[in-house]
Amino acid sequence: MDFSLNEEQRGWQVEARKFAEEEIRPISIARDQIEGGLEPWDWNIIEKGSKLGFRTLAVPKEWGGPGADFVTQAVVMAELAKGDSAMSKAFSQNWKWSHLIASACTDDQKERFLKPFLADHRYVMGRGITEPNAGSDNRMPPEDDPKAGFRLRAVRDGDEWILNGEKCFIANGSVGSLFFVDARTNPDVNVKQGGTLFMVPKTTPGFRVGKVFNKRGWRFYQNAELIFENARIPHANVVGGVGGAAKSGRGDNTGGDLFGDLELAANAVGVCDDAVQMSMTFAKAHKRVGKYLFEQQLVQLKLNEMMALTEALRSYVMRVAWMHDQGTHSANAGLVMNWSTDVIQRVTRLNMEIHGAEGCMMNARVDKLVRDAMVWTHLAGDTVQRVKILKRIK
């Protein structure tokens, strides 16, 4: 066994740490405290990070990207998240779809979409699965029931498909240039057989962004409604085959799904690192009735728990990243994602307990970490997500 990072991985880690400390962290609270859904977003930080390669990190080398491995991706996500969890996610969200394009798209599609993605520092992507009544928060629908799953309708019209319906909470929805959208091409069969994945550029006629969601946590990160009113998509934008949404979008052959599980867990490591560091600094600098908090046993026990949980999560995340690089797939990716919910919630809560409130005031970053952590409860640790992972355990 060898737990050390190689030179390239270490290089990305140092670069990400520097960018997080010098560029992300200084604006983190200010962006978080801007009212509204779209308003906290800042293209400036995306452009700066993009120039250093953080937007395109997962694009394969043969297509002109850095082609970073999973271990590097996990390390970079954690470093960026230590500066700001939501900003880290805004970068890594693009990696997910870089994996998908690389593994599931035709050369023609790569030419049309991967090249502009690489060329434009403001080109970001998202995936639309969730709908108001269907999606990742679905309460275990009977899988073979045609009524279960997404309902957005796609009807063939010559060389085009006409899409009608809406997607909800879509990542990068309000700022994205390209969306991968799951639609029902056959509503009479189950979603695996009747679902098809489309590539939808934001300029598509009949397509528009609806409500931009204003969230408690991850305020920088964008989630929006996508509205389709007779939106016309060329057949050439179908990913994989018609009726192959499940295979092309969710199957392990794309890397997209595996990465998605790793993404939230790796991001949580960065948030926990931040919380541990904040608590240590605070406990050594602040006294209660004449004694440093660091010398109080109850505080020591909290610090111990925070550190143990954070290191255990890091170990699990790195093991899963390593397994992905070896091409080994297991339920661990899902399990570590679920568990990261418990860890990030507990560690950010303990950080709040150690800081406490002073008078009628609370450190804004302590509160932010708790708010960001709450996002995990429905993205990563929802009971549905936890139950679904069991299907991967053979």
Partner 1 sequence: MYDLQLTPEQLEMRETIRDFVTREVKPPALHPTRLEPFEKPLLADVLTQASQMGLRMLALPEEAGGAGADCLTSCIVMEELGAGDVDVAMALAHTSGLARSIFDGLAPEPRKRLLQQFIGDDGYHLAIAAYDPAAQAGWSYHRPLIDDHEPVPTAVKQSNGDWIINGTVSLVPNAPIAKLIAVEVRTDPKKTGSNGMTTLLVPRETRGLTVRPQVKATGATRGNDEAIIRWHHGPAAAVAFEDCRVSGDHLVGKEGQSTLARGPAAARGLVEVAAVNLGLGRVAYETAVDYAGIRRQGGRNIIEHQSIGGKLADCAIRLELARNMIWKAAWVLDHPDVQVGSGAELPLHVVARVYTAQAVHEVTLLAAECFGAMGVMRDMPLQKYVHDGMVFFHQDDSDDAAKLRIAEALAGYERPLAQTA
Q: Is 359 in the site for partner 1 (CB under 8 A)?
A: yes
214 touches partner 1 (CB under 8 A): yes
Residue 327 sits in the site that holds partner 1 (CB under 8 A): no
Distance in angstroms (rounded) separating the CA atoms of residues 42 and 44:
5
* 305 token code pair: 């728990």
Q: Which two tokens stand for residue 195?
A: 């679902």
- Counting Cβ atoms within 10 Å, is residue 360 exposed (0-12), middle (13-18) or buried (19+)? exposed
Tally of residues, the chain:
394
Question: How many other C-beta atoms are found inside a 10 Å radius of the C-beta of residue 214?
Answer: 13
Residue from 1, 2, 289, 394 touching partner 1 (CB under 8 A): that is 289
Distance between CA 210 and CA 90 in Å, rounded? 19
Contact 162, 232 (CB under 8 A): yes
For residue 55, the SS3 value is coil
390 binds partner 1 (CB under 8 A): no
Site for partner 1 contains 299 (CB under 8 A) = yes
For partner 1, which stretch binds (CB under 8 A), given 117-125, 176-184, 264-272, 285-293? 285-293
Determine which residue in the list 291, 300, 304, 308 makes contact with partner 1, applying CB under 8 A.
291
User: Diameter of the chain by CA atoms?
Assistant: 79
Classified as helix, coil or strand, 257 is helix
Q: Does 31 bind partner 1 (CB under 8 A)?
A: no
Q: Token pair 């708010």 is at which residue? A: 371
Find the shortest distance in angstroms from Cβ 143 to partner 1.
10
Our measurement of the distance from residue 184's CA atom to the centroid of its chain's CA atoms, rounded to an integer in Å, reads: 25
Question: 3-class DSSP state for residue 238?
Answer: strand
What is the footprint of partner 1 within residues 140-199 (CB under 8 A)? Answer: 140-142, 145, 147-148, 168-169
Cα distance between residue 314 and residue 310, in whole Å: 6
Among 10, 122, 208, 288, binds partner 1 (CB under 8 A): 288
Binding segment (CB under 8 A) for partner 1, from list 50-58, 238-246, 317-325, 369-377:
369-377
Q: Does 370 bind partner 1 (CB under 8 A)?
A: yes
Residues 6+ apart with CB under 8 A from 319: 332
Stretch that binds partner 1, among 15-23, 238-246, 317-325, 357-365 (CB under 8 A): 357-365
284 near partner 1 (CB under 8 A): no
230 is an interface residue for partner 1 by CB under 8 A: no
Nearer to partner 1, 161 or 221 (CB): 221
Q: With CB under 8 A as the contact rule, which of the stretches 6-14, 82-90, 254-262, 382-390 interacts with partner 1?
A: 382-390
Q: Compare residues 205 and 356 and give the one whose CB is closer to partner 1.
A: 356
Quick one: angle between helices 332-355 and 256-285, nearest 10? 20
| Site residues, partner 1 (CB under 8 A) | 29, 33, 35, 130, 133, 137-142, 145, 147-148, 168-169, 213-217, 223, 287-291, 296, 298-299, 345, 352-353, 356-357, 359-365, 367, 370-371, 374-375, 377-379, 382-384, 387
